[in-house]
């Protein structure tokens, strides 16, 4: 019996025939946001993704590459820069990853196939029809569009072979009822598509085995046949929970799935074939299939063969994973197609993330730091006439957001959060903290203004966690929201931050991007290697000594990303119980002293360093060492000693150089 407090969500399993592109990333990021949202609400979530590794296309590609199909897919799935790496980069929080070549899955597929055969839902016949090789789909004459594949528009071939069939026709009435009379399939427009294009013309039995290739799960009772894609692929959703195998044991806990997210071209398989297979197996049906739209490029589908795929790695590395995640779910309504462009991406980052969110956080935190000693708000606070509207909006935000998220309307949920962010920016302009700050008597009012802003930011950050987990964490650290103030429950409760909260200034969240420069840079990066401007070869001299191996160059833009500043050591002490760590309090020319830990105690005594001018990298991701937060890194020169040990010399500057100067 499925546990009520569980939520089971899946992505399609991806074909590892090529590197994945931004379109695949879109679906996975959406699923991840939903999974994180449900976890935030307190559900026990099972988020499954994986790879669909069998079929002729993979067999052919492996052959062309001169490797076995398994070697071929292993490289794309687990190799460097492969699918697992991509999901790690994109901060995908899947609980399980299934590969259809996993032995437990193959074994379960054989059992499912045999059972369906033995009970008469699968029978042996002859397949005569049309086959689209790139899509690996069989079609009947009536399903073709202008004689071509209805999915990709390419030529189809005549096909005839002995094959097993699944009695899909037997389930036509039940499927029609499921689609028309329940909200099993969403958005609703997809129901009409399924009913008119596939069910009304007559649901035909489905070819479920092949003899023309071998890279598939063998039909164990009839050598020569392999299970053809859909029974193998679709059943991943239950085998990954332990159905007909002993690898996992949580089928009862999680099945039926709460939602399968799938792209629109595979809605047919998920809303007709999959429920029919489950009906035949006498298993409960998933609660919902949601068919999302495609990301298009210049109005057309992205595909490797068209050479117009957008690489998510380039974008995530340049602008940050969270910016890309946010853009994908904010820019396009989830159920519809959307046009991807670099310009839209950069525009969205500059307006929503840099101008609105980033600015709100940095203005608020820097003012709180400037006007209140140690960044700690005065507890005595005074309300004002500008407060009610902002507080009202924040107090009602979680419920509005929830209503959208329950409908998978990510765009609407984000729009509501950003409406509050804009309102909070306007509140700053209305309350003018810089004027209040000049008058000591206004301190309690100023404290309340700062409090309201911090509380608004906190609530928004909780609701942004599913979309931008890393950014939300950085915001929590800045506004002084500890674990208990990052919860779903606390997002619905205005006034959760303590009145005397202490802020901690951090780095700017989203620097503005120079649109023109970036568009050019991206254009260059996204070109095929052979089209990129060739680097100028150095003039070759006659007897030049052999050059050392070329270093891995970084660009000036990469270099510019690292922020080095001059810093004056205000205080320095040894970290208790650590042999290496020193804790520095530094003046980096900022509102507040900055704390950085450095592992140099074996070479320096802390008291000798006080007053020195050193160099700090200030935009390194903060991290904890021995439970203490280090907000940057001090730069040292390092030398290897003859005995193989390393010796560090802290980089020190002329004391005449003031603190807070950037290095270039």
Minimum CB–partner distance for residue 25 and ligand MSP (Å): 9
Minimum CB–partner distance for residue 467 and ligand MSP (Å): 18
Per CB under 6 A, the segment of 34-42, 294-302, 381-389, 459-467 that binds ligand MSP is 294-302
Minimum CB–partner distance for residue 15 and ligand MSP (Å): 4
Q: Does the protein bind ligand MSP through residue 87 (CB under 6 A)?
A: no
Q: Does the protein bind ligand MSP through residue 74 (CB under 6 A)?
A: no
Pairing between strand 259-263 and 157-166? unpaired
User: Please, which residues have CB within 8 angstroms of residue 555's CB and are 6 or more apart in sequence?
Assistant: none
Of 13 and 360, the one with the shorter C-beta distance to ligand MSP is: 13
CA distance linking residue 491 with residue 419, whole number of Å: 16
CA distance linking residue 414 with residue 468, whole number of Å: 11
User: Please, which residues have CB within 8 angstroms of residue 93's CB and are 6 or more apart in sequence?
Assistant: 32, 35, 36, 39, 47, 469
- List the one residue from 294, 327, 332, 476 that touches ligand MSP (CB under 6 A): 294
Residues 38-57 that bind ligand MSP (CB under 6 A): 52
Using alpha carbons, list the distances in angstroms from residue 646 to 615, 616, 633, 643.
Answer: 20, 20, 18, 9
Q: Does the protein bind ligand MSP through residue 14 (CB under 6 A)?
A: yes
Minimum CB–partner distance for residue 298 and ligand MSP (Å): 12
Q: Does the protein bind ligand MSP through residue 193 (CB under 6 A)?
A: no
Per CB under 6 A, the segment of 7-15, 112-120, 250-258, 358-366 that binds ligand MSP is 7-15
Q: Does the protein bind ligand MSP through residue 592 (CB under 6 A)?
A: no
Minimum CB–partner distance for residue 230 and ligand MSP (Å): 8
Pairing between strand 338-340 and 646-650? unpaired
Q: Does the protein bind ligand MSP through residue 569 (CB under 6 A)?
A: no
Note whether 400 and 460 are within 8 A (CB): no
282: its two tokens? 């006498």
Note whether 116 and 280 are within 8 A (CB): yes
CA distance linking residue 344 with residue 513, whole number of Å: 12
CA distance linking residue 422 with residue 389, whole number of Å: 12
Of 295 and 447, the one with the shorter C-beta distance to ligand MSP is: 295
Determine phi and psi for 357, rounding to 5 degrees.
Answer: -70, -55
Per CB under 6 A, the segment of 19-27, 85-93, 182-190, 464-472 that binds ligand MSP is 19-27
Q: Does the protein bind ligand MSP through residue 185 (CB under 6 A)?
A: no
- List the one residue from 33, 156, 262, 365 that touches ligand MSP (CB under 6 A): 262
Of 289 and 569, the one with the shorter C-beta distance to ligand MSP is: 289
Determine phi and psi for 548, rounding to 5 degrees.
Answer: -65, 160
373: its two tokens? 């000693």
| Count of residues in contact with ligand MSP, rule CB under 6 A | 20
Note whether 69 and 62 are within 8 A (CB): yes
CA distance linking residue 586 with residue 569, whole number of Å: 5
Minimum CB–partner distance for residue 234 and ligand MSP (Å): 5
Could you write out the DSSP letters of every residue in 626-663? TTEEE-SEE-EEEEE-TTS-EEEEE-EE-TTSPTTPBP
- List the one residue from 12, 69, 312, 492 that touches ligand MSP (CB under 6 A): 12
Q: Does the protein bind ligand MSP through residue 345 (CB under 6 A)?
A: no
Q: Does the protein bind ligand MSP through residue 59 (CB under 6 A)?
A: no
Give the residue nearest to ligand MSP (CB): 263
Minimum CB–partner distance for residue 233 and ligand MSP (Å): 4
Of 134 and 606, the one with the shorter C-beta distance to ligand MSP is: 134
Q: Does the protein bind ligand MSP through residue 163 (CB under 6 A)?
A: no
- List the one residue from 216, 263, 320, 480 that touches ligand MSP (CB under 6 A): 263
User: Please, which residues have CB within 8 angstroms of residue 534's CB and are 6 or more apart in sequence?
Assistant: none
- List the one residue from 29, 295, 316, 582 that touches ligand MSP (CB under 6 A): 295
Say whether 438 sits in a helix, a strand or coil.
coil
Nearest to 303 by CA among 15, 13, 11: 15
Q: What is the CA radius of gyration of the chain?
A: 29
Q: Does the protein bind ligand MSP through residue 315 (CB under 6 A)?
A: no
Binding letters toward ligand MSP, positions 206-235, x by CB under 6 A:
---------------------------xx-
Q: Does the protein bind ligand MSP through residue 322 (CB under 6 A)?
A: no
Minimum CB–partner distance for residue 60 and ligand MSP (Å): 16
Minimum CB–partner distance for residue 12 and ligand MSP (Å): 4
Q: Does the protein bind ligand MSP through residue 319 (CB under 6 A)?
A: no
Per CB under 6 A, the segment of 24-32, 120-128, 467-475, 534-542 that binds ligand MSP is 24-32
Q: Which residue has the tokens 């859909």?
A: 230
Q: Does the protein bind ligand MSP through residue 273 (CB under 6 A)?
A: no
- List the one residue from 9, 13, 259, 503 that touches ligand MSP (CB under 6 A): 13
CA distance linking residue 434 with residue 438, whole number of Å: 7
Note whether 101 and 68 are within 8 A (CB): no
CA distance linking residue 568 with residue 629, whole number of Å: 19
Say whether 439 sits in a helix, a strand or coil.
coil
Read off the DSSP letter of residue 377.
P
Q: Does the protein bind ligand MSP through residue 501 (CB under 6 A)?
A: no
Note whether 447 and 383 are within 8 A (CB): no
Of 24 and 330, the one with the shorter C-beta distance to ligand MSP is: 24
Minimum CB–partner distance for residue 267 and ligand MSP (Å): 9
Note whether 296 and 268 are within 8 A (CB): no
Of 261 and 418, the one with the shorter C-beta distance to ligand MSP is: 261
- List the one residue from 7, 26, 47, 215 that touches ligand MSP (CB under 6 A): 26
- List the one residue from 7, 8, 23, 38 that touches ligand MSP (CB under 6 A): 23
Q: Does the protein bind ligand MSP through residue 289 (CB under 6 A)?
A: no
Minimum CB–partner distance for residue 148 and ligand MSP (Å): 19
Using alpha carbons, list the distances in angstroms from residue 423 to 319, 418, 464.
Answer: 26, 8, 16
Q: Does the protein bind ligand MSP through residue 455 (CB under 6 A)?
A: no
Q: The sheet that has 300-301: what strands, in order across it? A: 300-301, 295-297, 338-340
Please state, as a whole number, how many other Cβ atoms lie within 10 Å of the Cβ of residue 16: 26
Nearest to 88 by CA among 44, 39, 43, 49: 49
Q: Does the protein bind ligand MSP through residue 489 (CB under 6 A)?
A: no
Give the footprint of ligand MSP on this chain (CB under 6 A). 12-15, 23-24, 26-27, 52, 233-234, 236, 262-263, 265-266, 294-295, 301-302
């Amino acid at each position: 019996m499925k546990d009520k407090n569980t939520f089971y969500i899946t992505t399609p399993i991806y074909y590892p025939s090529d590197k994945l592109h931004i379109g695949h990333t879109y679906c996975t990021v959406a699923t991840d946001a939903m999974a994180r949202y449900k976890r935030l609400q307190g559900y026990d979530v099972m988020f499954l993704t994986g790879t669909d590794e069998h079929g002729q296309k993979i067999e052919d590609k492996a052959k062309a590459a001169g490797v076995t199909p398994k070697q071929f897919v292993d490289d794309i799935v687990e190799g460097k820069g492969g699918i697992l790496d991509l999901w790690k980069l994109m901060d995908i929080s899947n609980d399980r990853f299934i590969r259809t070549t996993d032995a437990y899955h193959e074994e379960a597929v054989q059992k499912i196939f045999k059972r369906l055969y033995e009970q008469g839902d699968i029978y042996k016949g002859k397949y005569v029809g049309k086959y689209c090789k790139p899509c690996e789909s069989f079609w009947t004459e009536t399903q073709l569009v202008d004689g071509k594949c209805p999915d990709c528009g390419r030529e189809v071939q005549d096909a005839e072979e002995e094959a097993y069939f699944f009695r899909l026709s037997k389930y036509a009435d039940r499927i029609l009822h499921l689609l028309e009379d329940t909200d099993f399939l969403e958005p609703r427009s997809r129901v009409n598509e399924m009913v008119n294009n596939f069910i009304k013309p007559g649901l035909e039995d489905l070819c479920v085995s092949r003899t023309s290739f071998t890279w598939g799960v063998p039909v164990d009772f009839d050598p020569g046949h392999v299970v053809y894609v859909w029974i193998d692929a679709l059943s991943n959703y239950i085998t990954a929970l332990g159905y007909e195998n002993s690898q996992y044991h949580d089928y009862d806990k999680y099945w039926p799935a709460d939602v399968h997210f799938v792209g629109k071209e595979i809605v047919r398989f998920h809303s007709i074939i999959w429920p029919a297979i489950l009906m035949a197996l006498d298993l409960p049906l998933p609660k919902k299939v949601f068919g999302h739209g495609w990301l298009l490029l210049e109005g057309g589908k992205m595909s490797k063969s068209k050479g117009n795929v957008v690489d998510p790695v380039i974008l995530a590395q340049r602008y940050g994973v969270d910016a890309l995640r946010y853009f994908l779910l904010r820019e396009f309504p989830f159920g519809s197609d959307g046009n991807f462009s670099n310009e839209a991406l950069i525009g969205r980052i500059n307006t929503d993330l840099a101008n609105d969110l980033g600015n709100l956080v940095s203005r608020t935190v820097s003012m709180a730091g400037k006007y209140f000693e140690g960044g700690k708000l005065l507890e005595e606070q005074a309300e004002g006439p500008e407060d009610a509207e902002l507080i009202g909006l924040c107090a009602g935000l979680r419920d509005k957001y929830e209503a959208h998220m329950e409908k998978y309307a990510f765009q609407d949920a984000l729009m509501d959060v950003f409406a509050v962010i804009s309102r909070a920016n306007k509140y700053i302009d209305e309350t003018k903290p810089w004027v209040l700050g000049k008058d000591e008597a206004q301190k309690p009012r100023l404290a309340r203004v700062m409090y309201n802003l911090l509380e608004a930011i906190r609530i928004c950050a909780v609701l942004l966690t599913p979309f931008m987990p890393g950014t939300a964490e950085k915001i929590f650290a800045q506004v002084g929201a500890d674990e208990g103030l990052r919860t779903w429950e606390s997002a619905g409760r205005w006034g959760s931050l303590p009145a005397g909260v202490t802020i901690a200034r951090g780095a700017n969240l989203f620097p503005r991007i120079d649109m023109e420069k970036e568009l050019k840079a991206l254009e260059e990066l996204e070109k095929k290697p052979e089209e990129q401007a060739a680097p100028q070869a150095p003039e070759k001299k006659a007897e030049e000594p052999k050059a050392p191996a070329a270093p891995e160059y970084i660009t000036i833009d990469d270099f510019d990303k690292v922020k080095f500043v001059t810093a004056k050591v205000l205080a320095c002490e040894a970290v208790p119980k650590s042999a290496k760590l020193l804790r520095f309090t530094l003046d980096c020319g900022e509102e507040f002293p900055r704390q950085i830990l450095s592992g140099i105690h074996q070479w320096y005594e802390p008291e000798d360093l006080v007053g020195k001018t050193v160099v700090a990298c200030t935009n390194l991701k903060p991290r904890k060492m021995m439970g203490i937060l280090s907000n940057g890194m001090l730069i040292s020169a390092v030398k290897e000693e003859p005995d193989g040990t390393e010796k560090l010399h802290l980089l020190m500057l002329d004391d005449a150089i003031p603190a807070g100067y950037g290095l270039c």
